[in-house]
Amino acid sequence: MELSNLSKEDLIKFIELLSKQFIVIDGLWFSEVEKRYGTDTAVEMDTRAWEKYGEIEANRIKKVFGIEGGGLDALSRSLYFQAWIYSMGFGIETEDGRVLMTITDCRPQRARIRDGRGEFPCKGVGVALYENFVRAIDPKIKMKCLVCPPDDHPDDVWCKWEFTYEK
């Protein structure tokens, strides 16, 4: 079977499956490091990995999907192609010269809570990811974390990120 022979519906299912699998392997890796070395070391290692990944992912997205130039439009289009995004509940909106990305349903956080491990303080990991993702899209874009665990957050928002363009 080849991907080019799949129906649109099956391709969508496949993308969603891969997105979920991406998060599963990341979560399993993190859990094993956490068991052996503790949460602090696992977070440190996870942060370093996602920091490097952010730039790699952004550059590959730009190349594969022909996203040229920079600015918030290039960022907004690129955010939709992140490997993990379709395993989450998310929204991306553009308003008042900024892009807002909100994660409304976070599978890794729900799994941790279900397993009695509590919320993961993922803010540092997210900052590392998006600082490098954004820099690869356009160094003039600035990222700000509006909320992310360990911050208090509403039940329907796990994290929210703001991106603005510095002229």
Query: Would you call 140 helix, strand, or coil by DSSP?
Result: coil
Kindly report, residue by residue over 124-148, the tens digit of the pLDDT: 999 999 999 999 999 999 999 999 9
Closest C-alpha among 63, 47, 46, 83 to residue 137: 63
pLDDT in tens, 69-113: 999 999 999 999 999 999 999 999 998 899 999 999 999 999 999
What is the predicted pLDDT for the residue at 165?
A: 94
Dihedral sign of CA atoms 72, 73, 75, 80 in order: positive
Write down the pLDDT at residue 167: 75
DSSP label of 156: T
Predicted local distance difference test score (pLDDT) of residue 162:
98
**Beta-carbon contacts of residue 98 (< 8 Å; ≥ 6 apart):** 72, 162, 163, 164
CB atoms within 10 A of CB 165: 16
Amino acid in the structure at residue 40: D
Q: Give the pLDDT confidence score for residue 123 in this predicted structure.
A: 95
Question: For the whole model, what pTM was predicted?
Answer: 0.90
Residue 136 has a pLDDT of: 97
pLDDT, the chain, mean: 95
Q: Which amino acid is at 88?
A: M
Alpha-carbon distance values, 142 to 34, 51, 92 (Å): 31, 16, 16
CB within 8 A of 41, min separation 6: which ones? 33, 34
pLDDT over 70 percentage in the chain: 100
CA 57/CA 52 separation, integer angstroms:
9
Q: What is the pLDDT of residue 1?
A: 79
pLDDT band at 166 (very low <50, low <70, confident <90, very high): confident
Structural domains in the chain, CATH included, are: 7-165 (3.30.1380)
pLDDT of 9 strictly over 80: yes
